[in-house]
Amino acid sequence: MKSGKGYFTAGGRTVIGLTGPIASGKSLALKCFQEEGACAVSADSVSGELLTTPGIYHTIVRKFGSDKILTNGLLDKKKLAAEVFSSPAKREWLESLLHPQILKRIHSLITRSNKQISVVEAPLLFEAGLAECFTITVCLAAPEKTLKARALKRGWSRAQYRGRVKAQLSAAEKYARADVVLENSGKPAELAGKIKFLCRFLEGTAKS
């Protein structure tokens, strides 16, 4: 999925790569950025949309079997994820299919936007080698016990949580690689305040 330096930042716009460990609050943060006037893009949402396109849909069904189809005809994302995360080879195959198309779609969305700041939520930002595609990278952080508790509250089993964590870089490594780390172990309003400050700072820097 790796692309060139500044891939998303043409035209002098600020494009933030938003990431973080599992259950760190990436979706909440993306919503906060959107409320501050940024163009907000979720790589997971783009991926979900691509799964409904005929070419990709049928390619995946041929690879993983018709038991991955729900009664409404859509792909069963939970079953697909369970199989993919249990096999590095299958995960690599799926990523090689989806990632180039995800990049193209995200690039198109940012290019069509008239917003000065765009934010791309990408859970596997560093794993996919995308850091240099952005103006800056922002990583959400929280204590391990908080992250695990949030994941379990979502209905994940402990085994599912461990499997997903194992498939990613460690939280410490993500924090070390990020340009900005935002602590998100408190209330949503606290995170919103930090994001508002960051947006105002970036807007001021762009004007100076």
Ranges of each domain in the chain: 14-207
**Structure confidence at residue 193 (pLDDT):** 98
Each residue's pLDDT tens digit, 187-205: 999 999 999 999 999 988 7
Q: What is the CA radius of gyration of the chain?
A: 17
HSE of 103, CA atoms in CB hemisphere, 13 A: 20
Q: Which of 25, 34, 48 is nearest to 119 (CA)?
A: 34
Query: What is this structure's pTM?
Result: 0.89
Which tens digit of pLDDT belongs to each residue from 34-93? 999 999 999 999 999 999 999 999 999 999 999 998 888 989 988 998 888 888 899 899
In CATH, which superfamily holds the domain spanning 14-207?
A: P-loop containing nucleotide triphosphate hydrolases (3.40.50.300)
**Per-residue pLDDT at 206:** 66
